[in-house]
Structure 1
Amino acid sequence: MTVPWIDRLRMAAPDTPLALVTVLATEGSAPRGAGTRMVVDHAVSVDTIGGGVLEHQAIEQARAILAHPPGNWRIQDYPLGPLLGQCCGGRVRLLIERVDPAALDWIDAAANGTTLTTTLHPAGIARARDPMAAILPLSAHGERPGVGATWSERLGREQRPLYLFGAGHVGRAIARRVGGLPLRLAWFDSRPDLAEMPGVTVVDADRLPACLSDAPDEAAVVILTHDHGLDYALTKAALLRPPLAYVGLIGSATKRARFLSRLTREAVPADARARLTCPIGLAAIPGKEPEVIALSVLAQLLSLGQAEAAATSEYP
């Protein structure tokens, strides 16, 4: 598979000013995931980090850095709230760099599933292919990385978006184990007291179902909030939109029957109701402890197979 931003870097003349924009980290609902990249020159941009106002501002910043020598870089944080026309209050952290044509050996690893370790230096960015390096995910919440910061990513690996609703015991157990898996977490709750929990985006309960409108079709949705009424609203919203790869609802067979009965009364089509997975997790992994449920659910999500949208792979 050809990747537009990689092709642009490979074909560029050494004296052509180029900027590379990389999504370092996301939290909540974000247009693209960590590892997404695009190349910008004075006239055009190649590839996309998700479009909209976020991309427009990133392109402006990228063109501004073209006036600086190769190797210059900066980190930009963007809260995806009303200012950028976003609904669900996520965050995106971007690395914007003036491309150094003498330091592009790493792009040859982009289609080989290699682990890439990146280190920020005062006058440039060092990247090294290291298949033994541990994946070091960054967070968009907290202190912005600076000189000396190091992280690793796995190139050539697709990530299925995971929309997780609920930050209780099971939600936390799932979130703790997503790192290193081919899943990109967007984690939501409606309780204001959880606003400071790393990784959680707090959204008013009546607005929470609207977050599903941004979910791509290959996304998996797991619903396990503290409130059955909110669970139902989220389940109905997930089933009424275009089909998702997975819609899972925590609960017993009794809860499933009650929800399906209500969905039937409210004229949710039979083919949509059939897409509901409840109870969640693999039947072969019994147990009600949060850690066991988390492992069972993640195993079920991994069994869905490769995410369908290969053309929008998070790590090309």
Structure 2
Amino acid sequence: MSWISALAELQERGEPCVLVTIIEERGSTPRNAGSKMVVTAERIYETIGGGHLEYKAMEMAREMLEKRTQDTRLERFSLGASLGQCCGGATVLLFEPMGQPQAQIAVFGAGHVGRALVPLLASLPCKVRWIDSRENEFPEQLPAGVEKVVNEDVVDEVENMPAGSYFIVMTHNHQLDLELTAEILKRNDFAYYGLIGSRTKRVKFEHRLHERGFAPEVVQRMRCPMGLPEVKGKLPMEIAISIAGEVVATYNANFGQDVKKGESTVAKLLPGSRRERG
């Protein structure tokens, strides 16, 4: 894949990368100025000539990805004994971070809290799919980066999200909340699952999910009540700010890491939430 095609695909997926460009060459070098390479946490696209130079460039690019730096970087390399290359020339590389990590979020429910929450999420490095069966509940204007999904059977939309997604359930129907919860927990490959509701709702859901055969450690990954306990209040915007804060804490912790089944980053970050809704 060419470097420009790779950049387009990575941007579409919301995957961060570093574009490495040879901007200066002196003497004998393996590639000419203008040659480019795209580096992600797992792959590279194109080449700047191979050898130890390319290895060092990949190492530096991945260090930038790990540190989440957005600053460009210039590095000069002598292609002699220090790099184990026989070219003998010198080259200057430009490292340009491209994109930010983007959380893939599915918000089920276009009620009052959903209408307060979605614009907040849209202002973050997130891609939001806003899902409801009721067309008339959505506002006329959607924030940029938000995809509206109207589906009579919203449960079908769970499988359309990629692994490592964030799921937020706040529908108008408790039975629908339960069916969505079951489908999400069945996947068990999410980065975050939050369900609006009180401790009483959680206890009822835990009982019903155990009856359906869900293991306790899987059910434990559900955040209900959800949101940062430090953010008080019952107004839709107050609840939305609390939930958005918890999402931010989760994707900051998960950046550069694979989401492992059975692990709950939020549970580690926030061992107890006192927020009660519904």
Q: Could you tell me which residue of structure 2 aligns to residue 272 of structure 1? A: 218
State the identity as a percent: 33
Deviation at 1:309, TM superposition (A): 5.4
- Which runs of 5 or more structure 1 residues have no equivalent in the other structure? 10-17, 26-30, 37-45, 48-107, 116-153, 312-316
Deviation at 1:182, TM superposition (A): 2.4
CA distance in 2, matches of 1:269, 1:205: 29
Q: Could you tell me which residue of structure 2 aligns to residue 232 of structure 1? A: 178
Determine which structure has more spread, i.e. the larger CA radius of gyration. Answer: 2
Q: 1:158 to 1:264 in 2, by over 3 A?
A: same
Q: 1:167 to 1:157 in 2, by over 3 A?
A: same
Question: How many equivalent pairs are there?
Answer: 186
TM-score (norm: length of structure 1): 0.50
Contact 2:165 2:190 in 1 (8 A): yes
Contact 1:158 1:307 in 2 (8 A): no
Q: What amino acid does structure 1 have at the position aligned with 2:165?
A: A
Q: What amino acid does structure 2 have at the position aligned with 1:300?
A: E
Contact 1:194 1:200 in 2 (8 A): no
Contact 2:227 2:239 in 1 (8 A): yes
CA distance in 2, matches of 1:190, 1:114: 43
Q: Could you tell me which residue of structure 2 aligns to residue 250 of structure 1? A: 196
- Which runs of 5 or more structure 2 residues have no equivalent in the other structure? 18-37, 40-60, 73-96, 259-278
CA distance in 1, matches of 2:253, 2:161: 17
Deviation at 1:240, TM superposition (A): 0.7
Q: 1:211 to 1:170 in 2, by over 3 A?
A: same
Task: State the SS of the aligned residue for 1:186.
Answer: strand
More helix as a share of residues: 2
Aligned-residue CA RMSD (Å): 3.6
Q: Could you tell me which residue of structure 2 aligns to residue 32 of structure 1? A: 13
TM-score (norm: length of structure 2): 0.56
Q: 1:230 to 1:286 in 2, by over 3 A?
A: same
Task: State the SS of the aligned residue for 1:293.
Answer: helix
Q: 1:19 to 1:32 in 2, by over 3 A?
A: closer
CA distance in 2, matches of 1:290, 1:257: 23
Q: 1:182 to 1:269 in 2, by over 3 A?
A: same
Deviation at 1:203, TM superposition (A): 3.4
Q: What amino acid does structure 2 have at the position aligned with 1:220?
A: Y
Q: What amino acid does structure 1 have at the position aligned with 2:160?
A: D
Matches within 5 A, 1:1-316: 8-9=2-3, 22=8, 32-33=13-14, 113=70, 155-194=98-137, 198=142, 199=146, 201-206=148-153, 208-304=154-250, 305-308=252-255
Deviation at 1:164, TM superposition (A): 0.8
Contact 1:161 1:185 in 2 (8 A): yes
Task: State the SS of the aligned residue for 2:121.
Answer: coil
